[in-house]
Amino acid sequence: MRIEKPAQAGTLESNDIYVQILPNPREEIEIRLKSVVMLQFGKQIRQVAMQTLNEKGITSCILNLEDKGALDYTIRARIESAVERSLC
């Protein structure tokens, strides 16, 4: 499934993550990540983001993530929320 409509979720508060999901002209998922814990958890955050998009059946989008030290469950919740907002 392609993302056609931009949407966002989350905040820039500590322990949260701000998620923006946008249409991607190409048939692929592009994740752009900024994180306060990039060194320690950059890979893991990308992994969780990709997994969440896969579970939601998304095949094409640009996902902008600005992470303020969110735990995995928050990352999942915020991405799901952005996807649902985009699809509705």
Judged by the rule CB under 8 A, the positions of this chain that interact with other proteins are: 9-10, 13-16, 36-37, 39-44, 68-74, 76-78, 80-81, 84-85
Per the CB < 8 A criterion, the answer to whether 50 and 79 are in contact is no
User: For 57, what's the count of Cα atoms within 13 Å in the CB-facing half-sphere?
Assistant: 3
Cβ neighbours of residue 38 closer than 8 Å, sequence gap 6 or more: none
Closest to other proteins by CB, 6 or 85 = 85
Shortest Cβ 23–other proteins spacing (Å): 21
Closest to other proteins by CB, 64 or 74 = 74
Alpha carbon distance 3, 21 (integer Å)? 8
Shortest Cβ 4–other proteins spacing (Å): 19
